[in-house]
A and B are shown apart, each in its own frame.
Chain A
Amino acid sequence: MTTVKLTDEEKRMLNGEAGKVAQICMEALVEMAEIAGAENLVDLDGTGDMHTPGLEITPYHKITIEDLRELVAAGGRFKIPTFANKSPFPEQPPIDGWEQCNICAYRQPENRHDDPEFHKKALHEEEFELLKKMGMLTSQSCANYLTMTYWPTIGQHCSWFESSQIPYCNAILGARTNFDGCFATCFLGKAPNYGMHITENRYGRILVKTDRLIQTDLEWDVFGYAVGCEVRCSVPVLTGTAKPNTTQLQKFNSAIHTGGAVQMYHIPGTTPEAPTLEFAFGGRKPEREVLIGERELRAAYEYLNYHTSDVVDMVYLGCPHLNIVDLMRLARKLEGKKVKVPLWIMTAPWLYNAAKEQGYVKIFADAGATLLSGACLAAMGAVPEGVRCIAVDSAKQANYITGCYPEPDKMLEVCYGTTDECIDAALTGHWRGEWR
């Protein structure tokens, strides 16, 4: 028997009295709780983020398509508002722009994203429709908070997935999530009660100082990566920065959970659980102080750049997915221009339509660029054939995209810098970025 304390209702679910799917989900949650050392489960009153793979909660807790059909026919619904994180299926097809996406999923030649047959298969229509009937909302973004239009509020318990969204939920929204969004948590509206659900674990532990005012998009991205590398799984309190805007928060949150596994941080005077420095630390002294200054930032910038040549074959923007203001600014910069090398831009599906209405999709197309939605280059596991060097403005993408090409004779090179440097590279085919 499990050591996790369950309510009578939860015990009945575990015994199968609430149906087969509820039983599988409860078994998965109990195992998660045991591994995590959680005493019990917490009832979720916030939102859920369902990540791939949808029905395989774990290899030992799988729901079949037949189970799902029966569940939906019997009126089964997600207990909490549930948003889809990118595609809930392993192929990770783009939702818009897939026709232009001349890459092979996970480098398998038969799985071309621009092949209509593969695309259709990758959408898993029946399963997708069933999940929608259960209430899954098709925001399909690694930055769901951009379009979900229904945010959890301070203190609400959530179950999200996706590394960049975890600190966004905890630190920016003040809601509470561990890294566990899946079918089981969303269907039962429960999650193991540990980590970020518990107030004590949310206080700051490490004081971070900087000797360079963090204020540009690139500075926030590099700062996030460097802080993550330094503090790892801890809770940093950041001082000496300017106030971040939305784009910068997106960048910072994705970078800090790439360099490290930071679920929570505080910026006193800016983030909701840190009205003051003392409050951020819960009245205790920091365990240690670290300086992430000019020297550390430059080292991180140089680590993220990984290229021997300045010849760029492709430019990728939109990690994490671009917000509508980013798209507007990008359209302004590309209007009337023509790219020399492919420029792919990624956003959330629900913003693609807004971008279309605003005329940005046409501006991008006229410039020779491609707007895609709902996917991620690294998650698709490949770049177009022949690309040896890619330019990005994201520490997260710079960090992951090379992992798709680990063979010594095929290593992918990455130029990392500002959005403007990436646009310049797209227009000229050359990298002229530098740390300034």
Chain B
Amino acid sequence: MNDPRLDRGDFGLLLLGLLADRPMYGYELLAELRARTESVIDLPEGTVYPALRRLERDGLIAGRWQDAAGAPRRRYYDLTAEGAQSLADGAAAWRKFASAADAILGS
């Protein structure tokens, strides 16, 4: 596995996958991640913000502040076209890796 998007310690690809559905803010992303993985993937919450900053710096997502009723304003993130391409490439690489691993470990 030599695709940096599949590094064990970097969940940027998962964040891109979540943002492919709709723009979300940090808290919402983590909640969605837990819900969709049935809490199998449960990260230290604070680590999502550095990860989002890295993705934004790489041009894969774009952040924007948005006021929230009765709550502090939130920073929502949108997937960019470059991010969508990166997600497609990363997902393909992951499926290829998973298929290869499955050939050994599966059934």
The answer to whether A and B interact is no
Which B residues fall within an 8 A CB radius of A? Answer: none
Which A residues fall within an 8 A CB radius of B? Answer: none
